[in-house]
Chain A
Amino acid sequence: MSTDAKPAPRDDLRDRVLRGFALGDKSFRIVTQTCAVTVLLLLGGVIVSLVEGAAPALRQFGFGFLTSSAWNPVTENFGAAPAIYGTLVTSFIALAIAVPIGLGIAVFLTELCPYALRRPIGIAVELLAGIPSIIYGIWGMFILAPFLQEHVQPAIIAAFANVPYLNQIFSGPPYGIGIATAGLILAIMILPLISSISRDVFNTVPPVLKEAAFGIGCTRWEVVRRIVAPYTGVGLVGGIMLALGRALGETMAVTFVIGNAHKIMPSILGPGTTISATIANEFTEADGKLYTSSLVALGLVLFVITFIVLSVSRLLLMRIEQKGAR
């Protein structure tokens, strides 16, 4: 360590080793703490850079940006309403389809499925939750959209043709791609997520509670409805919000099948756009400061929406975790 050749006295050596220990400990602590703070700064950095990038567009259009449905790169007039509408509607359709089916799968896995099959099916569902979203996207474009266009949408349009209001929502022509198709793809994509979270949440219910309910003669449905659901309610909502956050921000599964039309159409079968699809499709082609800035502003809107949804979801899930730990 030191350069002088004389052997150091024993006490001196001990001191030096101890000091080395203390120094090492201190520096390691500082390094790890810095990294932890860096994670915080990352989120701050994301927000600051988005606000900065979005500033020119927000200055130009003000709050009207959120409500305007103009999208004209030539005259440089931009509004976020169609993209926000598409994002919300596709996510809503996805939840409307995936929540009942996902909860059904979770009930099946925790109550009905034979024990030998629980683990394999559970693992399969978890593996599917990890499949990249672009896979769902190209399947939607090449296989689901043509199928819907030929076989399903004409039937739906015909069935609702004479029903007031509904004939507006389901009006033709059948494009195949569009808001409804994007919602369906999103539903399939978040299904494994919803099922695996709800299954984990259902598993936090103490068996004694369920056994007691069965013991006084409750049917299986009554146990799920009266015991499992109230016990896990908060966690379930948290899980669903988490899936909603995923659906809102999803890009690749949607971009292929949304149709990329900056219009709010009454029919959900028609093409539309979402925030993420607009950014993915147009960002590299955007020329002009205002165009780019408007796209970043869209990103900011998306970030704010998902931030709120995810925060609520985490707070709710934290509550069920504490319950499980007790």
Chain B
Amino acid sequence: MAAVQSSRPLAARLQATRKTRSGIIMVLCIVAAALGLIALALILGALLWSGFSSLSPAVFTQMTPPPGSSGGLLNAIFGSLVMTSFGVLLGAPLGLFAGTYMAEYGHGSKLTLVVRFINDILLSAPSIVIGLFVYEIAVVPLGHFSALAGSLALALLVVPVVVRTTEDMLNLVPGPLREAASALGLPRWLVIRFVAYKAARAGLITGLLLAVARVSGETAPLLFTALNNQFWSTDLNKPMASLPVVIFQFAMSPYKEWQQLAWVGALLITLAVLALSITARILGAQRTSQ
């Protein structure tokens, strides 16, 4: 090194500066990674700390309290479960069939290209706009807010996720499998049902779980479709409480008890979403290892 430096000082100096510059920028990258991870760790830490410190059995057995008294989140948890289930029941079949068309019948067709493009836009469209749409088509004609409208809004958020994963997963099914089934004389739709769906099953379930994870934390589209309800209600035609909307209302309030319940609700949602995503990931990993 030393000999080289003395004979070609300029080249060596140049190389040294290049190395230093590269080193500095790489250190900056490490700092960026550390910063990002620290910020996210701070959020999760605060959530776990504030959530678990107010978590109690009453959360799961009592209704949302009036201002200034303690209570639970039972009606909100129930409402979230009901509206998420109905949303998935409404949205998943539509998404599944649309994705099936794109991968099986209309593979490479113009319609498929357009639907894929539009679907990708719906996938990232602002959820509050979906809420406005459902307000116009379901709340205005009926004249009142309802859990049904809330489910519809969630269903519209489920559709793009399911379309996307269904198409992707069916495209991964090897063509020879389908050809073999067709050679046995099965018509196309039975090939899809008995061969393609079966081969892609883990992937399809993964997509469904991701869709549930996506909608279970959605607040904006529920604000003016399902509204909120302080009491226990199982009537789909009436306003219904949901965890995200209750968190929104309680966190914005000046009451200590409400704010604590908001943290607990946030913790519950986060745990549910993480559990769903991790399950989806494990299922996906099994599929690829097979």
A186 interface residue per 8 A CB criterion: no
A104 interface residue per 8 A CB criterion: yes
**Contact, CB under 8 Å: B220 / A252:** yes
**Contact, CB under 8 Å: A280 / B129:** no
**Contact, CB under 8 Å: B126 / A139:** no
Which residues of A sit under 8 angstroms from B177, Cβ to Cβ?
A: none
**Contact, CB under 8 Å: B133 / A45:** yes
Q: How many interface contacts (CB-CB < 8 Å) are there between A and B?
A: 261
User: Which among B29, B102, B247 is the interface contact of A36 at CB below 8 angstroms?
Assistant: B102
**Contact, CB under 8 Å: B21 / A221:** yes
CA distance A29 to B105 in the complex (A): 7
CA distance A121 to B277 in the complex (A): 15
User: Which among A112, A131, A138 is the interface contact of B273 at CB below 8 angstroms?
Assistant: A131
Which residues of A sit under 8 angstroms from B112, Cβ to Cβ?
A: 36
* Interface-located stretch among B53-61, B67-75, B188-196, B230-238: B188-196
Number of interface residues of A (CB under 8 A): 89
Most chain B beta carbons < 10 A, residue from A111, A220, A221, A311: A221
Which residues of B sit under 8 angstroms from A64, Cβ to Cβ?
A: none
B146 interface residue per 8 A CB criterion: no
Most chain B beta carbons < 10 A, residue from A45, A135, A246, A310: A135
B125 interface residue per 8 A CB criterion: yes
A169 interface residue per 8 A CB criterion: no
* Interface-located stretch among A78-86, A148-156, A227-235, A298-306: A298-306
A132 interface residue per 8 A CB criterion: yes
A contacts with B: majority SS? helix
**Contact, CB under 8 Å: B32 / A104:** yes
- Given that A33-B105, A256-B251, A314-B120 are known contacts, is A133 also in contact with B217, CB under 8 Å in the complex? yes
The A267-321 residues at the B interface (CB cut-off 8 A) are 276, 279-280, 283-284, 295-296, 299, 302-303, 306-307, 310-311, 314
Smallest CB-CB separation from A102: which chain B residue?
Answer: B36
The B57-112 residues at the A interface (CB cut-off 8 A) are 93-98, 100-102, 104-106, 111-112
CA distance A195 to B104 in the complex (A): 33
**Contact, CB under 8 Å: B190 / A43:** no
Which residues of A sit under 8 angstroms from B106, Cβ to Cβ?
A: 33, 36
The distance from the CB of B206 to the nearest CB of chain A, in whole angstroms, is: 13
**Pairs across A and B, CB under 8 Å, 17 listed:** A24-B187, A25-B187, A32-B104, A33-B106, A35-B100, A46-B130, A108-B29, A111-B29, A136-B43, A142-B46, A143-B42, A192-B36, A219-B22, A221-B25, A279-B128, A299-B132, A311-B121
Chain A positions near chain B (C-beta within 8 angstroms): 21-22, 24-25, 28-29, 31-40, 42-43, 45-46, 49-50, 52-53, 100-105, 107-109, 111-113, 121, 123-124, 126-128, 130-139, 141-143, 188, 191-192, 195, 219-222, 224, 242, 245-246, 248-252, 255-256, 276, 279-280, 283-284, 295-296, 299, 302-303, 306-307, 310-311, 314
Q: Lowest 9 CB-CB distances: which A-B pairs, in order? A: A132-B217, A249-B126, A104-B32, A219-B22, A32-B101, A28-B189, A221-B22, A35-B97, A251-B220
